């Protein structure tokens, strides 16, 4: 597993896929915040006062996280945020499944007639989380990588003098 996720090209491809999934998931929610707020409220886990704020904030957070993953900016931070969001989504979906709530998950579409099997979304999220954790574990911290290359450059300069 380590070799697979340490491969630069596989890591980039995986980041692009994860980022694209989050970006795609954000579009319909951003276009229809009222409907998304209703879907969030159907989970019955947040106080009503937070539902509208989350319906506006979450899609933008997904979009920005997706963009950061695709562009390769702040990779460790965006992977951490990505993984935390997926854990929250898995918990929310799991509690809905356990409680027998008949809801639209709101994962990729806010269309109320869009039915998705909640257990299938949980499995998909677990797979995405696994990839996100592996990338986080085997991706070098940007700042550390830059500092190490600067130290190596200084050592090379000192050796030639």
Report pLDDT digits (tens) over 27-41: 999 999 999 999 999
pLDDT of the residue at 151 = 56
* Overall average pLDDT of the 14-23 stretch: 96
CB atoms within 10 A of CB 109: 20
Give alpha helix (H) positions in the chain. Answer: 2-6, 8-31, 33-42, 48-71, 75-98, 118-138, 142-160
How deeply is 138 buried, as exposed, middle or buried, from its count of CB atoms within 10 A (0-12, 13-18, 19+)? middle
CB atoms within 10 A of CB 23: 18
Which of 20, 42, 40 minimizes the C-alpha distance to 29? 40
Task: Report the distance separating Cα 59 and Cα 113, nearest Å.
Answer: 20
Report pLDDT digits (tens) over 61-101: 999 999 999 999 999 999 999 999 999 999 999 999 999 88
0.85 surpassed by pTM: no
């Amino acid at each position: 597993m380590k070799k697979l996720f340490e491969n630069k090209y596989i890591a980039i491809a995986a980041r692009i896929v994860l980022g694209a999934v989050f970006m795609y998931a954000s579009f319909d929610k951003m276009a229809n915040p009222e409907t998304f707020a209703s879907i969030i409220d159907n989970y019955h886990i947040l106080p009503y006062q937070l539902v509208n704020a989350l319906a506006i904030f979450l899609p933008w957070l997904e979009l920005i996280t997706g963009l950061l993953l695709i562009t390769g900016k702040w990779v460790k931070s965006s992977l951490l945020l990505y993984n935390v969001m997926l854990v929250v989504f898995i918990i929310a979906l799991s509690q809905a499944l356990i409680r027998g709530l008949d809801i639209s998950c709101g994962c990729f579409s806010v269309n109320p007639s869009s039915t998705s099997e909640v257990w299938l979304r949980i499995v998909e999220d677990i797979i995405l989380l696994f990839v996100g954790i592996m990338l986080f574990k085997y991706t070098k911290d940007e700042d550390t990588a830059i500092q190490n290359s600067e130290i190596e450059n200084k050592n090379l300069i000192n050796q030639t003098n």
